[in-house]
Chain A
Amino acid sequence: MADMLTVRVNGVVMCVPPGFTVLAALDRAGTRTCRTSVTGEPRGALCGMGICQECRVTIDGRSHERSCMTLCQDGMEIVTGD
């Protein structure tokens, strides 16, 4: 597909179609863990609709962005585990 977007998930280059959320890019990369909880547990997306805040990741240096509510953009740098 000509109009694929390129993003990086924890440094690894991924191609996703437009309209995919950052969460879907993580899914493609095989990453289920988005963030680390206050007691150090791995956490992944729960509600899928912007409520629970469990899917937060760092996008282009901005921390605590909800991956389920953010659409991928070409060149995005996504970092998990914060």
Chain B
Amino acid sequence: MIEADVAVVGGGPAGIAAATVAAESGARVVLLDEGATLGGQIWRRDVLAAPKGSAAAWLDRLAASGAEVLSGWSVFDAEPRRLVGFRGIVRFHQVVIATGARERFLPFPGWTLPGVTGLGGLQAMVKSGCDVSDRRIVVGGSGPLAIAVAASLAERGAHVALVAEQASWVQIRPFLFAILREPRKFMQGLDYALALHPGVVRFGTWVVGAEGRDRVEAVRVTDGRRTWRERCDLLAVGYGLVPQTELAALLGCRVEEAVWVDREQRTTASGVFAAGEPTGIGGVECALIEGQIAGLAAVGREVDHLETERFRGLRFKDVLKTAFELRNELRHVPRPETIVCRCEDVRLVDLEPFVDRRTAKLVTRCGMGPCQGRVCGDSLEFLKKWGPNEVRPPLMPTSVGDLAR
């Protein structure tokens, strides 16, 4: 068993910042992360490039802070003052939940073909060694991640044939204005735009189907008036990010889409803080500020000096939410025979008789598979406006041996 003053779950920017500042103040801190290496999504270890810029600076600062880092450590259950993982138990006084976000996937005909991946998903695969050079790739979905990923694929030698952003040009204008006010984000956006061929990015355009025999060979896209086909070796599609709130929910925190927090990143559960994407999608700068606030507050330090930046982050979160709102047409993209639950191969038509998730699950096994409804649950929230998944431990598939510990 491990004992800590402050336990931090999640080793992305938010968790790294929280663990660092808490340990620097002298507290006994343990940082637990599921990944084989630290970094979370944006700072995921890249087999081809060493960390640079703020990632390198924060990783160095964490290493010097005295925080104990445990990688490959998944937390699958939690109770007040206790975290349970595959590799043991951690007792804590305060905990910071920094479990990040996952992608929202929406089903379309052919989306189960190998070679159809998530957007951030493909980015993660590339960082961990998958080769995209000379591959013809179509990127689809929604949100700033689409352009960022497309640019990074192009930099690695991929031929990005099309970036289909479902939001219209008009809809994302508030986002563009917000970017203009933030020099760092603006310069980054410019870099991305320059990495792509002009005309590759199309707004108000979405994927309606993938084709291929045992792997994706082509994609059909539409702009509402015209539907056309693009040949591709890989198709990367993701419809924005979903806060991972399950662990916070197990600890009794109030969750409404995102984990509710106050100005010190305190949740409604005593001794439980949350930072970064679980509290709403805002990107890396937001995650760093919130992580620092949570880490400082968890050891009883002052956070006033970070208040202005936190507020800016909150404003950016609001803009992101509306600028990339998903269009209604996406609800009509899957056909009756399209698989919705990939674990149990449940088709959209199988769900037709049901009005809620519970009965559908009992009868069709939709959401009962090893992903525990993470993939189909998020898509059905949008497609059928069904309520969120029930959260129950264990949060991930475990063997009997793990549970016996």
Contact = CB atoms under 8 A, between A and B. Distances in A.
B65 to A, nearest CB: 24
Contacts, number: 122
B120 A37 contact: no
A46 interface: yes
Q: Is the interface of A mostly helix, strand, loop or mixed?
A: loop
Interface in B97-141: 102-103, 105, 112-118, 120-125, 128-131
A17 B131 CA distance: 13
B214 A47 contact: no
Contacts of B88: none
A68 B342 contact: no
Q: Is the interface of B mostly helix, strand, loop or mixed?
A: loop
Contacts of B342: 37, 43, 46, 52, 54
A24 interface: yes
Contact of B35 (A27, A54, A69): A69
B371 A37 contact: no
B114 A28 contact: no
B24 interface: no
Interface string A13-41: 00011011101110110001110011101
Nearest to B378: A51
B3 interface: no
A48 B115 contact: no
* Max count, chain A CB within 10 A of own CB: residue among B121, B374, B397: B121
B247 to A, nearest CB: 14
Contact of B345 (A23, A38, A56, A64): A38
Contacts of B214: 32-33, 42
Smallest CB-CB A-B distances: 5 pairs:
A24-B129, A44-B114, A48-B124, A48-B121, A20-B129
Given A21-B128, A23-B128, A51-B375, 9 more contacts: A19-B47, A21-B129, A24-B128, A37-B342, A46-B118, A47-B105, A49-B102, A51-B371, A53-B370
Interface of B: 34-37, 41, 45, 47, 102-103, 105, 112-118, 120-125, 128-131, 214-215, 342-345, 369-371, 374-375, 397
